[in-house]
Amino acid sequence: MKLESGFKRPPTVEWGTERQAQVAEIVRQEGHAKVDDLAQRFGVSTQTIRKDINAMCAGGLLRRVHGGVELSPVSAGHYDLRRVLNLGAKRSIGEAAVRIIPDEASVAVSIGTTPEMAVAFMGQHRGLRLFTNNLHVAMTAQRFETTSVTIPGGTLRAAEADIVGPTAVDFFDSYKFDVGLFGVAAVDDSGALLDLSAEDVHSREAITRNSDMRILVLDTSKFHRKAHARSGLITDVEHVICDTRPPAEICTMLHQARVALTICDEVAA
């Protein structure tokens, strides 16, 4: 299914502000936050913090409790919550990733908020042909004037707004891509790439085997997370882009395998 330029898309959820991202991180880590405490932390008025909270409650990420807020019961693992967590890191990673991608390239993009953020920075590229099984990614890219977007048919997985299973695998196996851009749920100490479901693994494998250049984008929280569906190694790609330096063992693996590692905070410095 190809989305032609000028397609009238529904409104997309905004990524939110950097302060909202930090509020989400605080609430996730501490379980609860008071409005007065948040205002003091950020050096702003309680009215300003309430505006942030109102927006996040309206989006279903937070809910009000006596004296403050907590995560909404439906937001745990929610795509929109993951969008705002580590937002600054994802922006840095996205900007770094698009510098590697040339104009006129065919690009396969996986699900995930970090790949989606990278796509959000592709608007200055000319003549991209983007292929994805994720509707968030597709709608982000659709607003770019010279980018064509192709998506598979099939059943939508509502939680992620993506199409998975044999349909997605066949879709990615039907093309040859200049670039494969993807993230993962986690990376273990051995460098193994981990996802949350076999369906996610199968789609990522199809992107990997059909791409001439593979770019793995991930923030360094992924080196401390758990996931159970395993396939591939971090050394199976040409480029790894992180916000901060990965664990020393991972850096050694990448160096020995001659995988290019971009560390965004070191580039910025």
pLDDT tens sequence across 89-101 = 888 999 999 999 9
3-state helix, strand, coil in the chain (%, to 5): 40, 20, 35
Higher pLDDT, 20 or 243: 243
- Is residue 216 within 8 A of residue 234, CB to CB? The reply is yes
Fold for the domain defined by 86-268: Rossmann fold (3.40.50)
- Where exactly does CATH 3.40.50.1360 map onto the chain? 86-268
Distance CA 57, CA 117 (A): 22
- Is residue 216 within 8 A of residue 183, CB to CB? The reply is yes
- Where exactly does CATH 1.10.10.10 map onto the chain? 18-77
CATH 3.40.30.10 corresponds to the domain 18-77? no
For the segment 99-150, what is each residue's pLDDT rounded down to a tens digit?
999 999 999 999 888 999 999 999 999 999 999 999 999 999 999 999 999 9
